[in-house]
């Protein structure tokens, strides 16, 4: 993945996925930024909600650097109510270069469990390439790897396929 800052070198494991989408970057980016629509198309991330520091949903559901969001997910993926959730803080949101980054919010025992995620849209062979990856670190990352690694890969692949289908529709 080009143009992203270096990740924590102490990562225990990483997961990632990419897909070529026959749609303009702007359209794919708009889908990714439309948090309230995730439940309509995404079998992995079923719901993303911007929340206050106390965890309550806020009126403005627009992503911005510094905002915290709650991701409600299904691992393995399915179009059903979400089974687990977690908080993330937006660290980068670059609309011009179609990339975003987020990580474990400070104060959540980041020495014990920490992750960073990047997602980026580039152009390859006149198509939009969506790439995403996460790096996990800390002692709890070993447990997450052991319990969830394979299903996390399946979940990201399902999201990639769903994003492709949604963007190429119409």
The model's pTM is: 0.91
pLDDT tens string 127-165 = 999 999 999 999 999 999 999 999 999 999 999 999 999
Q: Residue 55: which pLDDT band, with cuts at 50, 70 and 90?
A: confident
pLDDT in tens, 61-83: 999 999 999 999 999 999 999 99
Q: Which range among 5-9, 32-36, 117-121 shows the weakest confidence by mean pLDDT?
A: 5-9
Class of domain 14-168 (CATH, top level): alpha beta
Percent of the chain with pLDDT over 90: 86
End-to-end Cα, the chain, rounded Å: 29
Per the model's pLDDT, the better-predicted residue between 151 and 55 turns out to be 151
DSSP state of 147: H
- Cα dist from 6 to 11, 17, 142, whole Å: 11, 18, 21
What does the alpha-carbon distance between residue 130 and residue 95 come to, in Å, rounded to a whole number? 14
């Amino acid at each position: 993945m080009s143009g992203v800052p270096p990740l924590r070198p102490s990562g225990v494991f990483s997961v990632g996925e990419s897909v070529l989408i026959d749609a303009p970057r702007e359209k794919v980016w708009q889908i990714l930024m439309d948090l309230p629509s995730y439940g309509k198309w995404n079998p992995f991330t079923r719901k993303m909600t911007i929340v206050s520091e106390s965890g309550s949903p806020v009126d403005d559901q627009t992503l911005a650097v510094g905002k915290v969001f709650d991701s409600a997910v299904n691992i393995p993926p399915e179009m059903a109510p979400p089974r687990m959730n977690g908080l993330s803080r937006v660290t980068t949101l670059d609309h011009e270069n179609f990339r975003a980054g987020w990580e474990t919010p400070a104060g959540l025992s980041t020495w014990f469990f920490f992750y960073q995620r990047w997602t980026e849209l580039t152009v390859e062979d006149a198509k939009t390439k969506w790439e995403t990856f996460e790096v996990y670190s800390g002692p709890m990352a070993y447990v997450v790897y052991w319990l969830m690694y394979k299903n996390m890969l399946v979940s990201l692949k399902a999201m990639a396929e769903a994003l492709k289908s949604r963007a190429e529709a119409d």
